């Protein structure tokens, strides 16, 4: 009989306190408490408020995840937890809790790189998925096309040279007067508009995978400010729609190019921006046209969640990579260190 490990995942890198339990690749529970509503009042995440909210929520969210999974903590095989990147105080709440749990139960602690979690979300969507595949990673902090060669080997093909896609969405949303977090609000507004406002090209140099969001962002800001200074009417929905097309088309194009160039037949995606409906449809169309299989995690597993942390925990568990209880939280981890295990 196959023994499938039971893994508890904990995520607290930003404003979501999340816990999930998986048995092998089967998701048993997926709980989340968010302080986004509180943060929205300040137009962004206030680190101290996030840390306090995590400290208040973590115990209950983990208990809920275990209860919903019908699992007693003594049955767990390991505890996987995000150790970075993210807000230090926020990360420390989840990490300290996970350490206490692992120590008390005498089970392994597995420190997970948040970005590796976003990449691993696809494993839960399709239990037959295995590397090699090419992933479009688009979150609030990173945007890149990544070639997963094996479960533990990654090659960053390229990505944004400045803002991450989510960051660009959030900044443009703010200019359009939309609340935090801007991405989903901008998507909603874009549905009422047309892509008629001219946007600059985002590609840097010939070929390659790198691109830049700064020109696009500046173009939108200039357009809006000029219209407002002149007192001219303009459609915010058209601006949102035009920006969304420009910002996302390049991602789809580079992802498909990456898969073709590396000769892989499977594409996956991860990160908050992948919750965008227009991007999901574009990816589906482009992959179908190119004859590529697309594994798209459901929306709630694209934005921050603990199921993805548990999924990456499983990869590490199977590789026998466990972390010492001295593991420290890390505010930033460059994409060039994606292969490092803690
Ligand atoms: O992965 P994530 O939840 O957190 C990070 O690891 O950064 O990504 C958050 C980012 C935010 O910038 C948010 O505005 C963006 O993902 N986002 C979206 C959508 N939903 C979330 N961007 C565009 N369209 C969406 N529907
Ligand atoms: Zn994230």
Q: Extract the tokens encoding 144.
A: 């890149």
Tell which residue, 3, 2, 16, 10, has the closest CA to residue 272: 16
Atom 10, ligand 1: residue with shortest CA distance: 140
Tell me which of 17, 122, 303 to substitute to probe ligand 1's pocket, judged by most ligand atoms within 8 Å of the beta carbon.
303
Residues whose CB falls within 8 Å of the CB of residue 226, separated by 6 or more in sequence, listed in order: none
Q: How far is the CA of 231 from the centre of ligand 2 (A)?
A: 39
User: SS3 helix, strand, coil % of the chain, rounded to 5?
Assistant: 45, 20, 30
In the prediction, which pLDDT does 306 show?
98
- Strand-pair category, 143-150 with 153-159: antiparallel
Ligand 1 atom at minimum distance from 141 CA? 7
Ligand 1 atom with the smallest distance to the CA of 142 is: 7
Nearest residue (CA) to ligand 1, atom 21: 272
Rounded distance from Cα 2 to ligand 2 centre (Å): 32
What is the per-residue DSSP string for 85-128?
SS-HHHHHHHHHHHHHHHHHHT--EEEEEHHHHHHHHHHHH-TT
Look at residue 205 in the predicted model and tell me its pLDDT.
57
Q: Which residues pair with 158 in a beta bridge?
A: 145
Q: How far apart, in whole angstroms, are the C-alpha atoms of residue 103 and residue 232? A: 63
Q: Which ligand is nearest to the CA of 185?
A: 1
In the reported structure, the alpha carbon of residue 323 is separated from the centroid of ligand 1 by a whole-number distance in angstroms of: 29
Homologous superfamily of the 131-300 domain (CATH): ATPase, nucleotide binding domain (3.30.420.40)
Q: 238-262 burial, b if ≥16 CB within 10 A, otherwise e?
A: bbbbbbbbbbbbbbbbbbbbbbeee
Per-residue pLDDT, 248 = 97
305: CA distance to ligand 2 center in Å? 8
Nearest to 9 by CA among 104, 139, 124, 106: 124
- Give the list of residues 6+ apart from residue 218 with CB closer than 8 angstroms, or none: none
What local confidence, expressed as pLDDT, does residue 291 receive?
98
Spell out a b/e string for 87-114, using b for 16 or more CB atoms within 10 Å of the CB, else e.
bbbbbbbbbebbbebbeebebbbbbbbb
pLDDT at residue number 203? 72
At 139 the pLDDT is 96
Tell which one of 17, 82, 140 to mutate to probe ligand 1, the residue whose CB is within 8 A of the most ligand atoms: 140
- The CATH class, in words, for 6-121+304-337 is alpha beta
Q: Which atom of ligand 1 is nearest to the CA of 164?
A: 12
What local confidence, expressed as pLDDT, does residue 21 receive? 98
Q: How far is the CA of 283 from the centre of ligand 1 (A)?
A: 17
How far, in Å, from the CA of 181 to the mean position of ligand 1? 8
118 CA: nearest ligand 1 atom? 1
| Alpha carbon distance 50, 92 (integer Å) | 11
Measured distance CA(283)–CA(288) in Å, rounded: 8
Find out whether 185 and 139 touch, Cβ atoms under 8 Å.
Answer: no
Distance of CA 273 from the midpoint of ligand 2 (Å): 9
Q: What is the mean pLDDT of each run of 10 residues along the chain (342 residues)?
A: 87 95 98 84 85 93 98 98 97 98 98 98 98 97 97 95 95 94 96 96 73 92 95 97 96 96 98 98 98 98 98 98 98 95 88
Same-fold call for 6-121+304-337 versus 131-300? yes
Q: Whose CA is nearest to atom 14 of ligand 1?
A: 183
Residues lining ligand 1, CB < 6 A? 14, 139-141, 166-167, 169-170, 181-184, 187, 271-273, 275-276, 303-304
Atom of ligand 1 nearest to the CA of 115: 6
Ligand 2 centroid – CA 228 distance (Å): 34
Task: Determine if the pTM surpasses 0.85.
Answer: yes
**What is the Å distance from ligand 1's center to 165 Cα?**
8
List the chain domain ranges: 6-121+304-337, 131-300
- Which residues are paired to 47 by β-bridges? none
Task: Give the environment of ion ligand 2: residues with CB less than 5 A.
Answer: 139, 304
> What is the Cα–Cα distance from 215 to 219, expressed in whole angstroms?
6
Distance in angstroms (rounded) separating the CA atoms of residues 82 and 112: 5
Q: What is the pLDDT of residue 1?
A: 45
Side-chain half-sphere exposure of 42, counting CA atoms within 13 A: 12
């Amino acid at each position: 009989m196959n023994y499938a490990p039971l893994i508890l995942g904990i995520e607290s890198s930003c404003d979501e306190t999340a816990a999930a339990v998986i048995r092998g690749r089967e998701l048993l529970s997926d709980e989340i408490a968010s302080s986004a509503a509180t943060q929205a009042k300040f137009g962004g995440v206030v680190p101290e408020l996030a840390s306090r909210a995590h400290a208040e929520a973590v115990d209950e969210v983990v208990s809920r995840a275990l209860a919903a999974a019908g699992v007693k903590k003594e049955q767990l095989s390991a505890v996987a937890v995000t150790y970075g990147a993210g807000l230090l105080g926020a990360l420390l709440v989840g990490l300290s809790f996970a350490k206490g749990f692992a120590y008390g139960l005498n089970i392994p602690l597995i420190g997970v790189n948040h970005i590796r979690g976003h990449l691993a979300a696809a494993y839960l969507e399709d239990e037959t998925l295995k590397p090699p595949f090419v992933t479009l990673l688009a979150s609030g902090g990173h945007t890149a096309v990544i070639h997963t060669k094996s479960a533990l080997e990654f090659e960053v093909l390229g990505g944004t040279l400045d803002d991450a896609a989510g960051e660009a969405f959030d900044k443009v949303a703010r200019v359009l007067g939309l609340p935090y977090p801007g991405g989903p609000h901008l998507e909603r507004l874009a549905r009422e508009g047309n892509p008629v406002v001219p946007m600059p090209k985002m590609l840097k140099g010939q070929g390659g995978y790198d691109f830049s969001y700064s020109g696009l962002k500046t173009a939108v800001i200039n357009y809006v400010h000029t219209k407002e200074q002149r007192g001219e009417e303009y459609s915010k929905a058209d601006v949102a729609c035009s920006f969304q097309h420009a910002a996302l088309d390049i991602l789809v194009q580079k992802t498909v190019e990456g898969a073709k160039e590396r000769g892989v037949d499977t594409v996956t995606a991860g990160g908050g921006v992948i919750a965008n409906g227009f991007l999901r449809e574009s990816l589906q169309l482009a992959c179908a046209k190119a004859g590529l299989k697309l594994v798209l995690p459901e929306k709630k597993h694209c934005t921050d969640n603990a199921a993805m942390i548990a999924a990456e925990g499983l990869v590490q568990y199977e590789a026998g990579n466990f972390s010492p209880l001295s593991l420290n939280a890390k505010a930033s981890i460059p994409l060039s260190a994606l292969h490092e295990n803690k």
